[in-house]
Amino acid sequence: MNVLGCQNVTFLHVHVIANGNSPNTDGIHIGRSFMINITDVNIQTGDDCISLGDGSKKITITKVTCGPGHGISVGSLGKYMNEQPVEGVFVRNCTLINTMNGLRIKTWPNSFVGLASNIHFEDIIMENVGNPIYIDQEYCPWNQCNKAVPSKVQIKDVSFKDIRGTSATANAINFICSSGFPCQNVEVVNIDLRYNGKQGHITSQCKNIKPRILGIHNPTACLAS
């Protein structure tokens, strides 16, 4: 379902279902749209349950159940010239089940200039989710990118609050930010995740970011930074 160039649209009590192995089947993709509300929606798919492309502004996502799929994503951003900023995204009271990723912001390396700001994730339940919390500024799904050149998309004013449940990967928090445009003003509050697997303890990995950490922190984000 594509939402492009729209204003003041609400999706309520919608079910979107595709085969879990089907590629390029985003449940709801939003781009260049303003004041979109998604609430009480169930999405099962083979790609992002919800993806927010460039120009997505004032987007509210609540009471969404996602899975299987690739999670809830901002991006990917920076691949094309003249992309519009993503601003004002609020994701609250959602549940992700058996998804490949959880809450993700993704930008291409060696990108065009862009901006993703004022993005907030709160009160999220994870059930066996890979990469539950993920900022990926080296996004390159086909490994055909020049990762030596950093992303030029600025990510700032982001929060992850009250996120709990189980991770399918040992690295539950991945903050891979751009060396050219490090992530700014990222807040991590009350994170309580447990690792389901057997590859050691739950951990985080971080590059080019110094988040503000408050409350419960399991795992601690960027302990060494």
Confidence (pTM): 0.96
Average model confidence (pLDDT) for the chain? 95
What pLDDT, in 10s, does the model give residues 82-100? 999 999 999 999 999 999 9
Q: Provide the residue range defining the domain that includes 107.
A: 2-218
- Is residue 152 situated within a structural domain? yes
- Is residue 168 situated within a structural domain? yes
- Is residue 70 situated within a structural domain? yes
**Contact present, 119 and 105 (Cβ < 8 Å):** yes
- Is residue 224 situated within a structural domain? no
- pLDDT for 225 beyond 70: no
Length of the chain: 225
Among candidate residues 13, 15, 29, 70, the one labeled active-site is: 70
In sequence order, the 6+-apart residues with CB closer than 8 A to the CB of 144 are: none
What pLDDT, in 10s, does the model give residues 133-189? 999 999 998 888 889 999 999 999 999 999 999 999 999 999 999 999 999 999 999
Q: How many distinct structural domains can be found in the chain?
A: 1
- Tell me what pLDDT residue 215 has: 96
- pLDDT for 19 beyond 90: no
pLDDT band at 44 (very low <50, low <70, confident <90, very high): very high
| HSE-up (13 A, CA, CB side) for residue 191 | 26
- Is residue 55 situated within a structural domain? yes
- Is residue 223 situated within a structural domain? no
- pLDDT for 224 beyond 80: no
- Is residue 156 situated within a structural domain? yes
| Residue 70 among the catalytic residues | yes
Look at residues 213, 156, 210, 166 and name the one whose alpha carbon lies nearest to residue 189.
213
Q: Averaged over 109-113, what is the pLDDT?
A: 97
- Tell me what pLDDT residue 223 has: 66
The domain that holds 175 is classified in CATH as 2.160.20.10
Gap between the Cα atoms of 20 and 10, Å rounded: 25
- Is residue 225 situated within a structural domain? no
* Residues in a beta bridge with 57: 34, 87
